[in-house]
Chain A
Amino acid sequence: MIRVDHLTKSYRGVTAVDDVSFCARAGRVTGFLGPNGAGKSTTMRIMVGLSTATAGHVDVLGSRYVDLPNPGREIGVLLDASAQHAGRTGREILELAARTMGLPVSRVPETLRRVSLTEKEADRRVRTYSLGMRQRLGIATALIGDPGVLVLDEPANGLDPAGIRWMRDVLREFADQGGTVLLSSHLLHEIEVIADDLVVIGNGRVVAQGAKHDLLSTSGTVVASSDNARLAATLARAGVKATPEGAGSLTTSADPGEVGRIALTAGIALTELRRADSAGLEEMFLLLTAQSQRESHSRHAGEAA
């Protein structure tokens, strides 16, 4: 469980993180979303004590991260898979992590297997690794202490589709066993598939948060019939505004149940009726973050004037 409480971080007058509060709960995967430079990485760095907050604080499992006696045993962290000494072998990096946590080095081969790095790959120097292999090594470093919480910054970067599927399974299993997962990503599809809860930030502020189901369920309905013009007119008469969407369907912000009732009353046979959720996260993301962008523009304009 991670609790971020009114966190603020300013660098020489620029506020990178602005009064951010959210909670990543046990047994759930929390997706941390936001455009580049929105403050995701800064928040995560403060979370693990690599950076200090200007105001506010973060509690991990009930204490400050820096007060944990042996943090690697309780929280697995991956912030930047490329931040490793390029001259060390993958096995050596894992062994150093195990020793630093006071763990037997017998954990190393089993953890390598868990992230599907072969013995041969493990003996190569990290400079020769692809980004995907570095991510696997980074996830191995996060998992080796058998923690109850994972904090991962863009872990899907550089993974191929099979690797992304693998990671999704690892994180799902971790959360299903009661673990807490906080992962940031700009890959919206990834987050949409795996996350249970979402925290969206833009310009350092939280613009939306909650269960994914609740956040995305308001995005309306896609409906189609053999005569869409008549359907649109009928819906309009009932006070529901529908707009044509692509080839042969209409979208509306009304609930599918209501749209279905109106069509039934008018005797229109529907060929399609479903909740418009496929592009929901992307639309929500662009809408929310665009708003925060506009706000910042007008704020700057105000300052200039």
Chain B
Amino acid sequence: MTTQTAGRADLDTVSTERADRGICATPTRHLVDVELRKMFDTRSGFWLLISIGALAVVATAAAIIFAPESELSYDTFAKAIGFPMTLVLPIIAILAVTSEWSQRSGLTTFTLVPSRGRVIAAKAVAALIVGIASMLVAFAIGAIGTVAGSAIAGVDPVWDIGFAHAAHIVLGNLVGMAIGFALGVVLRNSPAAIVGYFVLSFVLSGILVLLAQVRESFTDLQPWVDWNFTQVALFDGRTSSAQEWAQLGSTSLIWIVIPLVVGVAMLRRSEVK
């Protein structure tokens, strides 16, 4: 009893000293700032960011040059710009997590913030901010392309993407980023996670489509397990019925939520080397 009281008195002294020196936990908002910075303060991060804008401009120019006049609509530009984004954004999300291990900077990061869950959460928020900001930039460049393209062709600009469709496209990209992020958390290795992402998005989807063609029993199941299927539906603005949203929920549970929960649990207990 006495030792316990004494121990508590010591702790009180220590925490008073802490307060005197202004030592308190860093707010999560600051951690998000730090994580955002870390995504772009290296050469590779910087060029990934630049590539989003550069690829959008290239895709816009290509659409103006190659698309037939009848198809010079906002939808064409959004699709042309959207494709490179679906590749670059997940890579940004992957590297935000894996570089702590592949570059070993996690040794400092997790020493300064021992609560690894908070660090991962800050990274997730930072990736979300980058994803939404990049999409806004893409839509803006697409709008400029639509105006410029139709002016060059001498036709009226066609605005065939509504606000709801645009929101679906953003969501579709965030789904891709989330899958990349989850892969990064599970694998904690840059090359493995990037290769894994390409396997999941190209190889796996091909296999599932093939499977649905040869096995009739799988045809009904495919929309519930194939995340590419539900992501493409978002891009096309086809997700509307309750069942379609449920299918999106199901694929997100399988490919995002479960890997993330398992990955974070493993990550928190793992040894940082």
Residues of chain A whose beta carbon lies under 8 Å from any beta carbon of chain B = 45, 48-52, 61-63, 65-66, 68-74, 77, 79-80, 82-88, 92-93, 96-97, 99-102, 125, 141
Contact = CB atoms under 8 A, between A and B. Distances in A.
Contacts of B111: 48-50, 71-72, 77, 79
Interface in B97-135: 99, 103-115
A92 B46 CA distance: 14
B44 A87 contact: yes
B160 interface: no
Nearest to A73: B23
B14 interface: yes
Contact of B107 (A69, A79, A86, A101): A79
B261 interface: no
Contacts of B79: none
A100 B114 contact: no
Question: Chain A: interface secondary structure?
Answer: loop
Nearest to B41: A92
Interface string B56-72: 00000000000000000
B41 A80 contact: no
Nearest to B271: A51
A50 B107 contact: yes
B23 A100 contact: no
Interface residues of B, number: 38
A96 B38 contact: yes
Given A70-B24, A87-B42, A141 B11 contact: no
Given A80-B107, A99-B33, A141-B108, A85 B99 contact: yes
Contacts of A49: 110-111, 114
A96 B104 contact: no
A102 B272 CA distance: 23
Contacts of B41: 88, 92, 96
B215 interface: no
Interface in B185-236: none
Contacts of A66: 114-115
B113 A100 contact: yes
B34 A83 contact: no
Given A100-B113, A102-B26, 19 more contacts: A45-B272, A49-B111, A50-B107, A51-B271, A51-B272, A61-B14, A62-B11, A70-B26, A71-B112, A84-B104, A87-B44, A87-B45, A88-B41, A93-B108, A97-B108, A99-B37, A100-B112, A101-B112, A102-B24
A71 B114 contact: yes
Contacts of A125: 43
B271 A50 contact: yes
A74 B23 contact: yes
A61 B269 CA distance: 24
B31 A100 contact: yes
Nearest to B21: A73
A232 to B, nearest CB: 55
B18 interface: yes
A85 B98 CA distance: 11
Question: What 10 A-B pairs are tightest by C-beta distance, nearest first?
Answer: A87-B42, A83-B104, A83-B107, A66-B114, A85-B103, A69-B25, A49-B114, A50-B272, A102-B26, A72-B112
Nearest to A92: B41
Residue from A50, A84, A85 whose CB has the most chain B CB atoms within 10 Å:
A85
